Structures are given as C-alpha cells and as structure tokens.
Amino acid sequence: MLNMQSISSEEELLVDEINYKDLFLIIWKSKLIVSIVTFFFLVGSVFIALHMPNIYKSEALLAPSQNNDGGGLAGLTGQFGGMASLAGINLGSQPTTNTQLAIEVIKSRQFITSFIEKHNILAELVAAESWDLKANKLSFDDELYDAETSRWVREVKAPYTPAPSNQEAYKVFKELLSINEDVDTGMVTISIEHVSPYIAQQWVNWLIEAINAEMKERDVAEAIKSTDFLTEQLSKTKVVDIKAVLYKLVEEQARTIMLANVRDEYVFKTIDPAIAPEEKFKPSRALICLIGLLVGFSLSSLVVIFRHFSRQE
C-alpha cells in the first residue's frame, strides 16, 4: 500500500514537472509576442507613473489637554449625582473626556462643510491638479475650474452643478483627511494629503484651531445653560445640603468658562506641529512600473497559452 502511494506521488510530481516545462516551452516559443506586450505594458505604466502628481502628507501630533473633563456637568456628576437626584435634579451622564468626541466632530459632515466654506478652499480641494515646486504655485484642472475667472466649468448632469456640492466636497476631503488615536498613549495624529505640501500644512493647522474653537464654544454654551438651570434649582430648594451641592456645581461651570476663555489649545495641545514636507508621500513610481511589468508578462503569457491549447482542440 505504501509503495503504491509513493509511486502515485512520484507520478504526480513528474506530471507537474512536465506541465511546467510544457508551459515554459509554449511561452518561450512565443517570447517575441510576450516581450512586445510586456514592453508596451511597461511603457504604459512608466507613462502613467510620470504623469501622476506628487502627493504630500503633512501631519501633527497632538495630546489631549489637561483637565479635559468634557465640560458641562461632567466633572461633578459622579460625585454629586445621587444627592442632587434627591432634589429631583437629573444631572445626566456625560463623557469623561472630549478627545473621542472631538475626533468624531472633525470627521462629521457639518464640521467639514463649515470648515471648507469658512476658508474658501473648494477649488484647492476639488480642482487642484499639480504643484510647481520652483514657483510654489498650484495648478488647477482646466476642465473643472477656470482659475483666471474663479469660475467652475465642469460639465455634469443633474442633480449636480458645475460648482461641487457640499456632499461632493465632504467626500473628497474625507479621502484626504486621516485621524489616528494611540490607544495606549492617548496621542492623536491628524494628517492631510495634498498635491501642495504648503496647503497640506496649512489645512492641518486650521483644523487644529477649528476643533479647539468648536469644542470650546460647545462647552461654554453648555456651561452657561447648566448655570442657568442650577441657579433656577437653587431658588426652588431649601435643603442646605442640596444647596451646597448646587453651589459646587455652579462653581464648576464657572471654572469651565474660565478655562475656555484663557486656553486656546482647549482640547488638543500640539506636541509636534505640522510642517511642509520636502519628500512626497506617494505615488511609488517604481512600484507602479513593477506592477505594469508583471501584469504585462502575466497577461501575455496567459493569452499565448490559451491560444496554444485552443489550436490543439
């Protein structure tokens, strides 16, 4: 039984060896066709690689600010929530940190749309084609945007318009934006990819300023509303212990407003600021050429083998 199995295994190896040899001979006989097709694929990949614009990536390393307790009533909810509930006051449950909330806000459609409109970067976002290193000048796609007249000229069908909509701009920006949070250290990295390294750097800086301002405004507005609510509750209760709790909560809201007014880096502190990178991030032109070479050789070889066996049938 063992001898039969060993013989069959040797036969399979022999058949495989013969098949590989046959395939090699088939390809070798048509080496001229395979070489020509592979050469054209290589030339095509080189052409594509050379005409692809350089993409630069600028990033900043951020750390959550100290005393980043989420604003509002979050700081004392756990400590005084039970006692306040005795007076019929529901303090609710608040997040213990604003870091994750801030990250989600940056990714949100409303924030990104507002960011694009505020800084008027729609043309640089959608129509940017290349960047002149020597002149430090951005070039636009003439089929999309006329830079001289600042007019959108792209041809689209309804419901789209020549000027990109907020939804289109949001999708494009999301592809350029990357936000990563280190679970162990809590550090956050924000990066932007663009054909211009200076625009990529500028947008990262603007994003950091915008999210700090946004979260500051949110917490101040929440603290003011909370203060009004707590002041109203103070006028309704006569229990000394409850009043002490409410005064403590009002003090906490005043602290939140004070910190917001004196601290520019409200949610994120910049550890390593964004720079204009000197080296491109992508594309990898050597890799593109290699892929073109392999695809050309594989495709031409398969066609040659298929034609050979088709003639035999």
pLDDT at site 103:
92
Matching CATH number, 56-120+164-282, of 3.30.70, 3.30.2320, 3.30.1890, 2.60.40: 3.30.1890
pLDDT at site 111:
96
A 10 A CB-CB count for 167 gives 11
Q: Which pair of structure tokens corresponds to residue 136?
A: 């430090």
Residue that is written with structure tokens 């006051």 in the block: 89
Instruction: In the chain, list all ranges with CATH 3.30.1890.
Output: 56-120+164-282
Q: Report the side by side order of strands in the sheet with 268-272.
A: 177-181, 188-194, 56-64, 268-272
pLDDT at site 97:
67
pLDDT at site 202:
96
8-state DSSP, 145? E
Q: Where are the beta strands (DSSP E) in 112-241?
A: 128-132, 137-140, 145-146, 151-152, 177-181, 188-194
92: left (phi over 0), alpha (psi -120 to 50) or beta: left
CA distance 29 to 25: 6
* Cβ–Cβ under 8 Å, residues 188 and 103: yes
Give percent of the chain with pLDDT exceeding 70. 83
Residue that is written with structure tokens 């608040």 in the block: 94
pLDDT at site 2:
42
What is the rounded radius of gyration, in angstroms, for the C-alpha atoms of the chain?
A: 32
pLDDT per residue as tens digits for the range 214-245: 988 888 888 888 888 888 777 777 777 777 77
Q: What are phi and psi of 204, to 5 degrees?
A: -60, -45
Give percent of the chain with pLDDT exceeding 90. 40
pLDDT per residue as tens digits for the range 39-96: 999 999 898 888 888 999 999 999 998 655 444 444 445 444 444 454 454 544 444 4
**For residue 159, what are the CA distances in angstroms to 53, 141, 183, 188, 250?**
30, 22, 42, 38, 51
Residue type, position 41, single letter: F
A 10 A CB-CB count for 179 gives 17
* Cβ–Cβ under 8 Å, residues 58 and 274: yes
**For residue 306, what are the CA distances in angstroms to 262, 294, 296, 303?**
74, 18, 15, 5
A 10 A CB-CB count for 261 gives 11
pLDDT along the chain (313 residues), means of 10: 50 54 80 88 89 92 72 47 49 60 93 95 93 88 91 90 94 95 90 95 96 89 83 76 77 78 84 92 88 91 83 69
The average confidence (pLDDT) of the chain is 82
Query: pTM for this one?
Result: 0.75
* Cβ–Cβ under 8 Å, residues 294 and 45: no
pLDDT at site 186:
87
